[in-house]
Amino acid sequence: MRRFEMRLPAIVRMEGVTEFQTETQNVSARGVFFYFDQPVSTGTKLEITLTFPPHVTLTEAVRVRFFARVIRVENPTSSVRVGVAVMIENYEFLHSNGSPDILAALQDGLRNAN
């Protein structure tokens, strides 16, 4: 699976912890890797919201909520930064301020191109 080096803003929620912000290091179709400033265990379920900027989507910024599971933790004894690899189990596109979702924007773009 091809990984793309992308620094995208991420909001992470996990049980027992207030949501926190980080950024991705790389993204693939099935997973994401980033660093956390707090410990996490393999198997932990996470809710992650990423914002894909206009230069990636070729339209407006798009927010996507992922439901994921931690599959690898690097440097788990570090008190500074912990590398976390997650597998995406499900996702949904989020609507914001009445703007169309990415699928509608892509469909409109295809219709206008023809």
Give one DSSP letter per residue of 11-63, joined into a string: EEEETTEEEEEEEEEEE-SSEEEEEESS---TT-EEEEEEEE-HHHHSSS-EE
Q: What φ, ψ does residue 3 adopt, rounded to 5°?
A: -105, 140
Model confidence pLDDT, tens digit, residues 15-27: 888 899 999 999 9
Given CATH 3.40.50.300, say whether it is the number of domain 4-113.
no
The share of the chain scoring above pLDDT 70, in percent, equals 80
The pLDDT of residue 72: 96
